[in-house]
Structure 1
Amino acid sequence: MNDFFDYNLRHPLPQQSPHQPLTEAQCDELFKLFDDASLPATTMSAEMADGYLTACVVGPVPVPAHEWMEAIFGQPTLPISDDPEHQHRLLQLLLQRHRDIAVATAVALHDLTPDKLFVPLSSEVDAGERITPYQIDESGNRQGNWACKDWADGFRFAMLDHPQWDGLTNNPKNFDLLTPIVLFAEGYNPDRPELQIDEQANLPALLSLSIYNIRSFWKLHKQTHAPSLREARKVGRNDPCPCGSGKKYKKCCGA
């Protein structure tokens, strides 16, 4: 791991108890920091990075922070900045957002309340080009953009970066789990009816729900495809949960 990412991993934002997610002002700050011109041209947008992070949290294997940082910025370190404090702040907020996602998606569906619901970070789309994923012309072309498109692209990039996702994608029976993500990433595609949703559906809500369903899939998959106890890495019940939620194992995946 390079020294820059290593330093920031050792100096995250102080954790609060109980957990307090990023405020609206901090989310706005995160988006603004991602617009810093000194960042590599390969850097994802804030929205895409949030989708990538989400897939890393709810996916089949824990992804070390330095790996998803390298993926988000497109290189193993960041260039020297005229304002290194801004870069440090950006990585602090990313680490906090990672914890937010882990905590929110660890909540069981029957325990969900509006204040606990996972919601993707999404930038505003200019009114002049704002459309829905369904708006296409007679030629099947699409002009405009919609909220959460970059987010869904980021989620799918993380899936492509980690071949363990094949355990979900190789079975057509699991397509329903990914339908909202595919729809937000690609828009309506009449040639792929198996990956479409009724236009009248509440798409943002279905997108959030799909994240919980995907996490549940992998939780069950790990239980039914677990290696022998001798091969498995033992996690103490009082140890931090490997999923990254910040909770003890016995109160999270080990419950």
Structure 2
Amino acid sequence: MTPPVHPDLSHWYHAFDESTLTPGALSSAECAELFELFSDAGLVRSAMSAEMADGFLTACAVGPVDVPVPAWMAAVFGQPQLPVCADTARQERLLQLLLRRYRHVQASTANPPTSADPHTLFLPLQATVDEARRVSPYRCNAQGVREGDWELKDWAEGFRRAMLGGGHWQPMLGNQDAWPLISPIVLFQSGYNPDKPELQIDQRPEMRSMLVRCIYEMRQWWRAYALAQSRPAANPAPATPRRDQPKVGRNDPCPCGSGQKYKKCCGAH
């Protein structure tokens, strides 16, 4: 018996009319719905959580390359083909909400945060931390890994996965001047700063604001980088003339064959 052929996510995306998406940020109710849909029992075990998926698609939206929608969706759901949910209606709603969130991240980070209002400002989507799993002050195990859960743990992990995939982020990762933009991602992913053990990120709400600011600055950094790469080298140094013959000294025999010194023959003109 021939196994059924499942369409891949690119078929869904190319057939979908984006003009039907409601513009703007997801409402509080829609965010709650998105998190509920990510708990669907039909999703494969390798699928990301809603919070991790938001971090992953944010990195795709502000990063150096235009990641095709089906490609980042395949990474989020842990599979490139449909169905991702057993229920067709729930699947359609999940894909639409996720795509709308992605478009909002693209649009909201395109301009400086100073020009944003509460409806256009980018903010990461995060799950509520189960207080039973929160360890505060933080504590690390023997391997130096923080125990328990904390705010934006999965979000930062999703961003990190996108950032380290494919090697496209290397110009930023290899530039020490850009490391302050990356450090908030590392901080929330690890959950603590080993250089400042007294820093409790769970008790410092300004750390979240710092993360948001760095996301905006990352988008601008990559824009400036792309612009610099597209420009030709300015005022290239002129090529040094090359001599095919050795230089003739003033007291050397003139190369014209007259038998006189160069300074009294051709060199005198």
Task: Name the structure 2 match of 1:11.
Answer: 16
Is the 1:51–1:153 Cα contact (8 Å) retained in structure 2?
yes
Alignment of 1:88 with 2:67, yes or no, is: no
Is the 1:5–1:77 Cα contact (8 Å) retained in structure 2?
yes
- Report the CA distance between 1:109 and its aligned residue: 3.4
Aligned mate of 2:57, from 53, 56, 59: 53
**CA distance in structure 2 between the aligned counterparts of 1:4 and 1:141, rounded to whole angstroms:** 37
Alignment of 1:219 with 2:223, yes or no, is: yes
Is the 1:39–1:78 Cα contact (8 Å) retained in structure 2?
no
Amino acid in structure 2 at the alignment position of 1:180: P
Can you give the 5+ residue segments of structure 1 that lack an aligned partner in the other structure? 229-255
Is the 1:12–1:95 Cα contact (8 Å) retained in structure 2?
no
Aligned residues: CA RMSD: 2.6
Task: Name the structure 1 match of 2:68.
Answer: 64
Is the 2:43–2:84 Cα contact (8 Å) retained in structure 1?
no
Secondary structure of residue in 2 paired with 1:225:
helix
**CA distance in structure 2 between the aligned counterparts of 1:96 and 1:117, rounded to whole angstroms:** 15
**CA distance in structure 1 between the aligned counterparts of 2:100 and 2:145, rounded to whole angstroms:** 39
How many residues in Structure 1 have an aligned counterpart in Structure 2? 221
Task: Name the structure 2 match of 1:209.
Answer: 213
Change (3 A) 1:113 1:197: farther
Alignment of 1:164 with 2:160, yes or no, is: no
Work out which of the two has the higher radius of gyration on C-alpha atoms and give 1 or 2. Answer: 2
Give TM-score scaled by structure 2 length: 0.74
Give TM-score scaled by structure 1 length: 0.78
Task: Name the structure 2 match of 1:240.
Answer: none
Secondary structure of residue in 2 paired with 1:3:
coil
**CA distance in structure 2 between the aligned counterparts of 1:103 and 1:144, rounded to whole angstroms:** 34
Is the 2:105–2:122 Cα contact (8 Å) retained in structure 1?
yes
Task: Name the structure 2 match of 1:126.
Answer: 130
**CA distance in structure 2 between the aligned counterparts of 1:198 and 1:173, rounded to whole angstroms:** 25
Residue by residue over 1:172-224, the C-alpha shift from the partner in whole angstroms, topping out at 9 and shown as x without a partner, is 2211001111100012242xx49x97965711101111100100100100110
Is the 2:77–2:84 Cα contact (8 Å) retained in structure 1?
no
Is the 1:60–1:218 Cα contact (8 Å) retained in structure 2?
yes
Residue by residue over 1:55-109, the C-alpha shift from the partner in whole angstroms, topping out at 9 and shown as x without a partner, is 0000001100010011111121134754111111111111111111111111223
Alignment of 1:35 with 2:35, yes or no, is: no
- Report the CA distance between 1:31 and its aligned residue: 0.6
Secondary structure of residue in 2 paired with 1:163:
coil
Alignment of 1:155 with 2:153, yes or no, is: no
Aligned mate of 2:148, from 144, 167, 170: 144
Residue by residue over 1:133-155, the C-alpha shift from the partner in whole angstroms, topping out at 9 and shown as x without a partner, is x7236976633211111000000
- Report the CA distance between 1:225 and its aligned residue: 0.9
Alignment of 1:135 with 2:144, yes or no, is: no
**CA distance in structure 2 between the aligned counterparts of 1:203 and 1:4, rounded to whole angstroms:** 39
Amino acid in structure 2 at the alignment position of 1:15: L
Residue by residue over 1:4-37, the C-alpha shift from the partner in whole angstroms, topping out at 9 and shown as x without a partner, is 4234323256234xx3221111111111111111
Alignment of 1:106-117 (within 5 A): 106-117=110-121
Aligned mate of 1:25, from 20, 24, 29: 29
Higher RCO (Cα < 8 Å, 6 or more apart): 1
Amino acid in structure 1 at the alignment position of 2:82: L
